[in-house]
Chains A and B, each alone.
Chain A
Amino acid sequence: MSKFLSCTNMTGGYGGEDIIHACDIEVDKNQIVVIVGPNGAGKSTAMKAMLGMISLKEGILMLDGSDISKLTPQDRVAAGIAFVPQTMNIFSELTVEENLEMGAFLREDNVQETIEELYNLFPAMKDKRNQLAGELSGGQRQQVAVSRALMTRPKVLMLDEPTAGVSPIVMKEIFERIITIKNSGVAIVIVEQNAKQALNIADFGYVLVGGENKFSGEGQELLNNQEVRKSFLGG
């Protein structure tokens, strides 16, 4: 029985040389998978490949038993994959609430309920619902970005470095929320620079080096692995 989302043998890049080589990533519902690795290891590229934002030379992507390898990014969104980019991940000139509404653009049903749920998850957003998202603080923007992605009620949520440039306290809060989201039945994939903290909350982790799977295993297992510690986690 394969996982909920399984990507196997992904090979490709931005048209020039291949950046990822035979890369495998799998994630199940109620699970957080973290992808770590040194700079330029192809972490973000792997995530973009999973989203269909780059065209792969090889590789098969299966979501809940159906092949999504040939779908466009938008169709993958419709199929239930949501993505939070690292930068430019909010509509800065729209209000917080409008950001959420845009997240739910494809939904025809009443979205107000989901909006309320997200306000409960991130109470700080509720007070600022009518402010322009671009005027918020870094941590609050991140909350808006994640909430926008959640508005589609995705089955898989992908986050590209959600804690880049935020304070340790905010980072802790974001990770806590991600766990809450996981518990609601979503499969989560995170690309992270802050490897230690991320692996701490991960159910499963991949270490990418030079575009290839170098290590993989449960979060704690990787944290305890001497070789991983030495090379990426600073001893």
Chain B
Amino acid sequence: MENFEFINAIVLLSNFVIVPALSYGSQLALATLSLTIIYGVLRFSNFAQADWMSFGTMATILFTWLFQSIGITAGILPTALLALPFAIIVTALFCLLIDRSVYSFYRKQKSQPIVLMIVSVGVMFILQAVVRFIIGPNDRKFFDGEKYIVHALDFKNYFGLEEGLTIKSTQLITVIVALVAMISLFYFLQKTKLGKSMRAYSNNEDLALLSGINPEKIVIVTWIISSILITTAGVLYGLDKSFKPFTYFNLLLPMFAAAIVGGIGSPIGAVIGGYVIAFSEITLTYAYKKFFVYLLPENLEPSGLMQVLSTDYKFAISFIILVIVLIVRPTGIVRGKII
């Protein structure tokens, strides 16, 4: 009996903390990677990045609708996965158009990073308008296919436990896709000539020029990679929850927090930061009462909710961590670029 209590507690924790945090963390890690790569190569904090996420997701939704209307689906998988590559192309092209028409001017002027950051605020407003104009400001669900991999009820019956474990297919898809994306990115950066030249350019721009590395090519590749990552992150998030421009916009803050906590400019740091923020948000706002009820003998059972912070503060948590990191270790967990 004692043992069952323990297993119940673990299942409970997996269901409400570990599985959701893993999938949210993967989404955040991908998004943060795109932010940090822009920062590392183009050297500015891109405030428009969350709205690129909206844009990419919107493009995916439009392609999904198109495919569904002509009867193409992906079977048990969501159709959005088929639409994703097309959406990435559209997003990347739009990114490059904005780069040509807006950012490149300031790059040539060798403007301060802060100026580019303010410019990105302008781009942010325009993207918000474009997304809301095309698809509207409302909540959209675009998930289709098989919804659950493990259902709580089946799990309970099968194992004879009190607690059930639910794993949504979107959660598994998120983790797999994110892993594939991260591994490919790290392979690209570490093993290919282009990837190495990107790192070289990020590390020492002048010397990269002296080695004959073409900066314009690096810039283009950077935007393309950023589009791939941010669109994928947005689609995974939208499949898992839903798509709403304002919600996506609000993800900008956890993204920045994750980037700085991990060490801005460092891809590994971005991944670590993404998971750190996701896990903190969920573990600090989860009410552990039931968990302890399972674990502790009856006379020691807690009376309160056993919650560190109310869920109202979910968004604030990333910033509390950010502030602590800024005070204690301003370079982030993995030593980032420069501060």
- The answer on direct contact between A and B (beta carbons under 8 Å) is yes
Q: 1/0 per position for A74-96, CB-CB distance to B under 8 A?
A: 10011000110100111111100
Residues of chain B within 8 A (CB-CB) of A74 are 209-210, 212, 214
Among A82, A83, A102, A105: residue with most chain B CB under 10 A: A102
**Structural contact, A93 and B203, CB atoms closer than 8 A:** yes
Residues of B within 8 A of A77 (CB): 210-212
Asked if B62 is an interface residue, CB under 8 A from chain A, the answer is no
Is there contact, CB below 8 Å, between A91 and B209?
Answer: no
Query: Are A93's CB and B199's CB within 8 A?
Result: yes
The distance from the CB of A109 to the nearest CB of chain B, in whole angstroms, is 13
- Report A-chain residues with C-beta under 8 Å of the C-beta of B211: 77, 102-103, 105-106, 148, 152
Please, which residue of chain A has its CB at the minimum distance from the CB of B205? A88
Q: Report which B residues bind A (CB closer than 8 A).
A: 193, 196-197, 199-200, 202-204, 206-214
- In the A-B complex, the 9 residue pairs with the smallest Cβ-Cβ separation, listed nearest first, are A106-B212, A93-B203, A102-B200, A91-B203, A91-B200, A77-B212, A105-B211, A105-B212, A102-B211
B interface footprint on A59-82 (CB within 8 Å = 1, 0 otherwise): 000000000000001100110001
Q: Which residues of A contact B207 (CB under 8 A)?
A: 85, 88-91, 148
**Is there a chain B Cβ closer than 8 Å to A218's Cβ?**
no
A101 touches B204 (CB 8 A): no
Q: Which of A90, A101, A152 contacts B212 (CB 8 A)?
A: A152
For A106, the chain B residues whose CB sits under 8 A away are 211-212
Q: Taking the complex as formed, is A98 at the interface, i.e. its CB lies under 8 A from any CB of chain B?
A: yes
> Contacts A101-B193, A101-B196, A102-B196 given: A73-B203 contact, CB under 8 Å?
no
Of A85, A92, A105, which contacts B197 at CB under 8 A? A105
* Measured CA separation A77–B210 after assembly (Å): 7
Which residues of B sit under 8 angstroms from A149, Cβ to Cβ? Answer: 210
Task: Compute how far the CA of A66 lies from the CA of B214 in the bound complex, rounded to whole angstroms.
Answer: 24
The answer to whether A102 touches B206 (Cβ under 8 A) is: no
A43 to chain B, nearest CB (A): 18
8 contacts between A and B (CB under 8 A): A74-B209, A83-B210, A91-B204, A93-B203, A94-B196, A94-B199, A103-B211, A105-B193
Residues of B within 8 A of A89 (CB): 207
CB-nearest residue of chain A to B265? A93
How far apart sit A94 and B193, CA to CA, in the bound complex (Å)? 12
Min CB distance, B210 to chain A, in Å? 6
Q: Are A92 and B212 in contact (CB under 8 A)?
A: no
Known: A93-B199, A152-B211. 4 other contacts (CB 8 A): A73-B210, A88-B206, A93-B203, A105-B193
Complex CA distance for A93 and B208, rounded to whole angstroms:
13
Residues of B close to A103: CB separation below 8 A: 211
In the complex, chain B residues whose CB is within 8 Å of the CB of A94: 196, 199-200, 203
Q: When chains A and B are docked, how far (Å) is the Cα of A94 from the Cα of B214?
A: 18
Q: Is the CB of B212 within 8 A of A78?
A: yes
Give the chain A neighbours of B199 by CB distance below 8 A.
Answer: 91, 93-94, 98
- For B190, the closest partner residue in chain A by CB is A98
CA distance A106 to B197 in the complex (A): 11
Taking the closest CB of chain A, its distance from the CB of B22, in whole angstroms, is 30
Asked if A88 and B196 make an inter-chain contact with CB atoms under 8 angstroms apart, the answer reads no
A48 to B: closest C-beta gap in Å: 11
CB-defined contacts of B209 to chain A, threshold 8 Å: 73-74
